[in-house]
Amino acid sequence: EAAVTQSPRSKVAVTGGKVTLSCHQTNNHDYMYWYRQDTGHGLRLIHYSYVADSTEKGDIPDGYKASRPSQENFSLILELASLSQTAVYFCASSDRGRRAEQFFGPGTRLTVL
């Protein structure tokens, strides 16, 4: 059974609209992450969280907000979606520690028109 799930798996949004991507993990991990994947840029960290009710900015946070209401759930919010935010978004979770590997969800393909 998949330990990190994402919803929706695919979404088409209009420019200026609000988009919410959801992530749920059953790994009992403290850390959760949101990445976007673009050809030529690889995986880039948007936001992450190491405890419920707290989020941290990653490397490219502009235009995104995050919410961690519980240990299991982590959402990524695009208040005003733009064309440049068309990408594949991955959520991941990990245990504490620098050797801890991250476990990724299946991804959400977002297209902003």
Partner 1 sequence: GDSVTQTEGLVTVTEGLPVKLNCTYQTTYLTIAFFWYVQYLNEAPQVLLKSSTDNKRTEHQGFHATLHKSSSSFHLQKSSAQLSDSALYYCALSEASGGSNYKLTFGKGTLLTVTP
Residues that bind partner 1 (CB under 8 A): 4, 31, 33, 40-45, 48, 50, 56, 58-59, 90, 96-107
CA separation for the pair 111, 43 (Å, rounded): 17
Cβ-count burial of 59 within 10 angstroms (0-12 exposed, 13-18 middle, 19+ buried)?
Answer: exposed
Name which of 15 and 26 has its Cβ closer to partner 1: 26
Nearer to partner 1, 45 or 77 (CB): 45
Q: CB of 11: closest distance to partner 1 in angstroms?
A: 17
* Cα distance from N-terminal residue to C-terminal residue, the chain: 34
| Least Cβ distance, residue 49 to partner 1 (angstroms) | 10
CB of 36 to partner 1, least distance (A): 11
Question: Which of 15, 8, 7 lies closest to 112 in space, CA to CA?
Answer: 15
